Structures are given as structure tokens and as C-alpha cells.
Amino acid sequence: MRHFGYLDDAVRDHLFHREPETFDRDSDAGVLASALGATLYSPATRGTLATDIAKQAARGVTSMVLCLEDSIDDREVVGAEQNLVEQLAAFAGSGAEGPLLFIRVRHPEQITDLAERLGDSLDVLTGFVLPKFEPDSGARYLKALDEAIAMSGRRLFAMPVLESPSIAYIEHRRAVLAELAELIAVHRERILAVRIGATDFQSAYALRRSRDLTAYDVHLVAQLIGDIVNVFGRADGTGHVISGPVWEYFPQGERLFKPQLRRTPFAEAEDPEAVELRTRLISADLDGLIRELELDKANGLLGKTAIHPSHVAVIHAMSVVTHEEYCDAGDILAESAAGGGVLRSAYTNKMNEVKPHRAWAQAVMRRARAFGVAREDVTFVDLLAAGVME
């Protein structure tokens, strides 16, 4: 697998100064965490799940979650489990190249039960998503994961979701996050990424952001993201990849606020269809998603939960390292080896202070491996055009 692998070689050569690297289920955990990208959720009740997985992989999806939790009715759980076992067996038997696959469970016992029922089909699975992750439930989830690994002899990862009211409530937050950090540190080799459940956080206060607002416009969620990054996103070797919250909206009608995509980048793009692309993105409510992705990146988040295939190409295009970022990161790391200092950016528009910016530069290079580096004259508009219109 690799990001943008569905594009023609000539198109990728035109877009990328450095192309995304390939990876598979057996790659290093750090590589997989950086390459998750848009993690597309699908309810485990779908009768066409095996073909859906293969179809989405062909369209550029590199990670999927098959959900047994909030996306299905409580009365459907038994049938959904059976369907999931059958569909994963069918997918495994097809030999199709697939994305990184995870199962979102409801309770710890499902992990060991499903691992046993899946048998050899477990080979196509990368791990489990652990919802409502709190100190007590988290310990039980991770114990069950260890048991499944011991039973199957296969490498399996966990992606805990921080979304419970105990984290949201300010009087408990600091203590709960500290406990979770200790628990996750003990199981560090099992944790692929930490996910943020902004929808559940908002639910604890009867809130819901509109399609004209980002998660960062909801002050409660913005504060929670900041606190989670503070604890789990540190650059001292204890941090983890933290993914951005889901964008909930699909194409629909009338807008309350002005679109958030400026006309200029689209009008100046080389692609003659770029202006029409802007219209399509706005009509699909994806301009808000683009704005939120910029804020995710600024706040240290990488990758994003997706619940609609139309979101995937946008998330991946916005994850590509710009040529300017790559030049700055390379200069910083080269100068860091020489001892530090301050230097002018190759683009002559900023100061690069070597020691403070070193961790940022290393993060940019990890993202460059996963998503590639755009050519100097290629903008996110060109990447969006290639991904959305392909």
C-alpha cells in the first residue's frame, strides 16, 4: 500500500518532489501510525463489507474501522458479529490488497471472542479500536488484547478513543488523563495511535457543531484537544500519534455562512478545472473540513476519522508535506547535526531556529515518508484535483 498509489505514475511524478513510501501490515508501528490518514468507518452490519473494503482500498483508503459500537443498533450486535466474521473470511479468501483494518468493539470480551472466531482470517486485521477508553475499562481492553495476541500468535495493535465524560469534566480531567498516560505507557508497544471522540465530548453537554464551524470553534472541544495533546503528544519520546476528530457532514443544501475556501488559490492553479473543483468542495460541505484539517495540523494532530468516502481524498491531500515545509525541515535537521543556531528559510520568508524547531522538523519528515512531498509549484489545490477528480 501507499498513499496516492491509485494515481497513474505520470500523475504522481508531476505532483511529487518525493513520492509517498510503500507500507504493509507488517511495517514498523511508527510507519503505520503516520500512514493511517483518513480512517474510514463502516458499520459491521453491511452485507457487502468484503467487497466494500476492496473497493475503498482501490480508491485510496489505507485504513478502515469496522464498527460494532455506536454505528449499529444494540439489537444488531449478534448479527453484526457473525456478519463481520463471515465478511472478513471472504475478504481474506479473496487475496485482495486491503487497507489496515481495525474492529471497533463494545467491550473487552469481544476482542478475545472475535480473535478466536476469526481464526486464520485474523491475518487481515491490524488491530482493535477501544471506545470510551478510561482507566478501568482501558486496563480490561488491553488485557484482552494481550490474551488475543498470545492465543493467535499475531501482532495486533490498539487505538484507544478518548471520548468519555470523565475526561471532559474539568474536575476529573487532569487525574484521568494522568492515569491513562500511565496505563498507555505500560502498553506502549501495543498502542498505534490515540483517537479523539469529539462527538461524545459534545454529547456530554448537549452540543453539536454545525457544518459552518470547526471543532476548534467549540471552546470545550478545543480545550480538550489541547489537554489531550499536552499529555499524549509530547516530543520527548513519550508521545503518540493523535488523530483528529470526525467531520460529520455530507453534501446538502443552503449555507448560513460564507464558504471558507478563498477563490484565489483555485483561480491561480494550473488545472483548468480547479475553479469548478472549488464549487464542488463547497457544495459538498468540504470547505469546513479543509479548514478543520489545517487546524488539526497546527495543533499536532495527524490523520482523521472519516465517515464518508468523499472525505478521504481531501484528508490525504491536506496531509502531503509542502515543498516549503520539506526544505525548512531538511535545513533544520542538517544544521542541528552541526550544532544549532538560527538560519533564514530557503523561501526567505521566516526564521528557522534550529533547536526549538527540531522536533517539528522530525515530525515533518515522518509525514513526508507516509504522504510524500509536493513539488515546488504544486499546491493543495492540485493535489485535491488529482485525488477528487480521479
Question: How many other C-beta atoms lie within 10 A of the C-beta of residue 250?
Answer: 13
386 found inside a domain: no
One domain, residues 281 and 336: no
At 389, is the pLDDT very low, low, confident or very high (cuts 50, 70, 90)?
Answer: very low
- List, for residues 47-93, the tens digit of each pLDDT value: 999 999 999 999 999 999 999 998 999 999 999 999 999 999 999 99
One domain, residues 313 and 342: no
- List, for residues 9-57, the tens digit of each pLDDT value: 999 999 999 999 999 999 999 999 999 999 999 999 999 999 999 999 9
Task: For the chain, give the mean pLDDT.
Answer: 90
Name the more confident of 262 and 146.
Answer: 146
One domain, residues 175 and 210: yes
360 found inside a domain: yes
384 found inside a domain: no
Q: Give the CA angle between residues 199, 200, 201 to the nearest 5°.
A: 90
Q: What is the pLDDT of residue 256?
A: 36
Q: What is the mean pLDDT of residues 348-355?
A: 89
132 found inside a domain: yes
One domain, residues 298 and 359: no
One domain, residues 231 and 343: no
One domain, residues 295 and 362: no
One domain, residues 199 and 54: yes
One domain, residues 314 and 356: no
Among the candidates 297, 319, 341, a domain finishes at 319
387 found inside a domain: no
Among the candidates 302, 319, 336, a domain finishes at 319
Q: Could you give the percent of the chain with pLDDT greater than 70?
A: 90
Work out how many domains the chain is built from and give that number. Answer: 2
One domain, residues 15 and 33: yes
377 found inside a domain: no
User: What is the span of the domain harbouring residue 241?
Assistant: 9-319
Distance of alpha carbon 18 from alpha carbon 24, whole angstroms: 19
Name which of 163, 56, 51 is nearest 104 in CA terms: 163
Among the candidates 285, 319, 353, a domain finishes at 319
Question: How many other C-beta atoms lie within 10 A of the C-beta of residue 272?
Answer: 8
SS (H, E, C) 289-349: HHHHHHHHHHCCCCCEEECCHHHHHHHHHHHCECHHHHHHHHHHHHHHHHCCCEEECCCCC
Binding site for Mg(2+), by residue number, is: 171, 200
CATH code for position 239? 3.20.20.60
> Cell digits for 122?
485474523
One domain, residues 243 and 362: no
One domain, residues 327 and 226: no
Binding site, by residue number, is: 171, 200
Q: What is the pLDDT of residue 176?
A: 98
1 found inside a domain: no
One domain, residues 53 and 139: yes
Q: What is the pLDDT of residue 34?
A: 97
90 found inside a domain: yes
